Amino acid sequence: MNMMSEAAVEKALDKKMNDMTYKMIGNDVSVYYGEKRALFDVNLNVRENTVTALIGPSGCGKSTFLRTLNRMNDTIEGCRVTGKITLDGDDIYDKEIDVVELRARVGMVFQKPNPFPKSIYENIAYGPRIHGLARNKADLDQIVEASLQRAGLWTEVKDRLHEGGTGLSGGQQQRLCIARAVAVSPEVILMDEPCSALDPIATAKVEELIHELRANYTIVIVTHSMQQAARVSQRTAMFHLGQLVEENDTDKMFTNPDDQRTQDYIMGRFG
């Protein structure tokens, strides 16, 4: 891909983003852990083909919000969600919605790389297998290769697909987990501090990957690094004490935020 067309693609994506197509809409979302309220009436919309960064000090509820988007909070004992979240207009907390199907459409990458103790191939093939995405072995091989290509891992691991996934380096493991999420062809990918356990070089690779994935997926990323948010995202949402403080274009957010608290946090005055 040459520079021109890359710029053109970028422009097209930005245009699409500015058309205000909302992939997911969060309406008055509140989360309780038992008696404790972790999130207060958050209204946050996620735009299609956009990287949305969630920032804020520890314990501000950004990870909690992220996990409501594919109902990973369901697995936590005593967690309750109120409000409404839609994916392409469908309420994901509706009784009719199958949580398994939802998670196939809204994939997730975790803070710590968590490859299964299986081979690289099996790690990628796991999702397509359980969702029946491949008709035969050739199909599956093709999905595995394409996913690894997407995650920029193919050239590094193509000769050792059948070796253990846990034997890779931390950064490779995290890209393996991204490839694993990509393999089930989700529409949205949630990333919970995907680089916090990685060194700067691996971080740069994952960030580059996130940037490329934007073309095909809607991405929501939680991060503690302001620079990372500035580098990878187009939209940024700032959380504080369980409330959404501000949501804005990343450029504006980091140069001229509307809210004083955002200003303070970005300048490093708290958090």
Query: Among residues 83 and 164, whose Cβ is nearest to another protein?
Result: 164
Q: How far is CA 100 from CA 29, 61, 130, 248, in A?
A: 21, 24, 10, 32
The values of phi and psi at residue 170, to 5°, are -55, -45
On the CB side of 146, CA atoms within 13 Å amount to: 13
Query: Among residues 52 and 73, whose Cβ is nearest to another protein?
Result: 73
Query: Among residues 174 and 262, whose Cβ is nearest to another protein?
Result: 174
What is the pairing mode between strands 36-47 and 22-33? antiparallel
- Exactly one of 2, 4, 36, 77 binds another protein (CB under 8 A); that residue is 77
**In the complex, minimum distance from the CB of residue 61 to another protein, in angstroms, rounded to a whole number:** 19
**In the complex, minimum distance from the CB of residue 128 to another protein, in angstroms, rounded to a whole number:** 9
In whole angstroms, give the CA distance from residue 44 to residue 257: 17
Q: Does 166 bind another protein (CB under 8 A)?
A: yes
What is the pairing mode between strands 218-222 and 36-47? unpaired
Q: Does 219 bind another protein (CB under 8 A)?
A: no
Written as one letter, the residue type at 160 is R
Q: Does 171 bind another protein (CB under 8 A)?
A: no
| Cα angle: 230, vertex 215, 54; to 5 degrees | 35
Written as one letter, the residue type at 142 is Q
Query: Among residues 27 and 114, whose Cβ is nearest to another protein?
Result: 114
Q: Does 75 bind another protein (CB under 8 A)?
A: yes
**Residues 101-160 within binding reach of another protein (CB under 8 A):** 101-105, 107-110, 112, 114-118, 126-127, 130-131
Judge contact between 25 and 68, C-beta under 8 A.
no
- Pattern 83-102, another protein, x by CB under 8 A: -----------------xxx
Q: Does 180 bind another protein (CB under 8 A)?
A: yes
How far from each other are the two terminal CA atoms of the chain, in whole angstroms? 41
> Three-class SS of residue 51?
strand
**Residues 11-70 within binding reach of another protein (CB under 8 A):** 70
List residues bridging with 236 in a β-sheet.
53, 248
Query: Among residues 53 and 190, whose Cβ is nearest to another protein?
Result: 190
Query: Among residues 84 and 118, whose Cβ is nearest to another protein?
Result: 118
**Binding residues vs another protein (CB under 8 A):** 70, 72, 75, 77, 100-105, 107-110, 112, 114-118, 126-127, 130-131, 166, 177, 180-181, 184
